[in-house]
Amino acid sequence: MQIKSIQFKYLEYENHGQLSESFRELASFAKKATEMSYAPYSNFYVGAAIRLSNGQIIKAANQENASYPCGICAERAALFSLADLFPNNKIEAIAITASNKANTMISPPSPCGLCRQVMAEFEILNGQNFRLLLCGNNGTVFQFESVKDLLPLSFDPKFLS
């Protein structure tokens, strides 16, 4: 028997002023995307913005439904809308932000397990890691070098073959 451990490092920025210009722009697109959120049931407004290697930024927000499981998270809405642009372009980074009704959700939001799994497969298709920025609405940003850091031992498409 062996004890094994998995560790990862991430960056924490105190405010958007510390971000590179390109990350600052991506974070602002994620914030803008929250305005497209349809979240009358949870009142939790999530925005995701994806930067592609051709410079384009694709954004999306969570979309809910009275039949609750029909809804989709912002991250997956953004990724699944990429079909005509991907994989001809690489994903360079994804920024995610969220706010609640009272706007008190100040710490960086953390993507749900389904979105982590979907992002993990997109990263495999991407052929290279993409950075993940989790943007709190008090300005704090967590930066991860790979989505794999947030989903170690993820379900791998290779398992199926």
Burial class (CB in 10 A: 0-12, 13-18, 19+), 78: buried
Is 75 a known active-site residue? yes
Of 24-32, 68-76, 79-87, 129-137, the window that binds ligand THU (rule: CB under 6 A) is 68-76
- In angstroms, the CA 123 to CA 98 distance is 22
- 139 contributes a contact to ligand THU by CB under 6 A: no
- Minimum CB distance to ligand THU, residue 2 (Å): 33
| Residue 108: cis peptide before it, omega within 30 degrees of 0 | no
With CB under 6 A as the contact rule, the residue among 26, 27, 33, 46 that binds ligand THU is 46
State the minimum distance, in angstroms, from the CB of residue 4 to ligand THU.
Answer: 28
Q: For residue 146, what are its two tokens?
A: 């790979």
Among 42, 53, 140, 146, binds ligand THU (CB under 6 A): 42
Torsion on CA atoms 23, 154, 136, 21, rounded to nearest 10: 0
Binding residue (CB under 6 A) for ligand THU from 52, 73, 78, 93: 73
Residues marked active site are found at 75
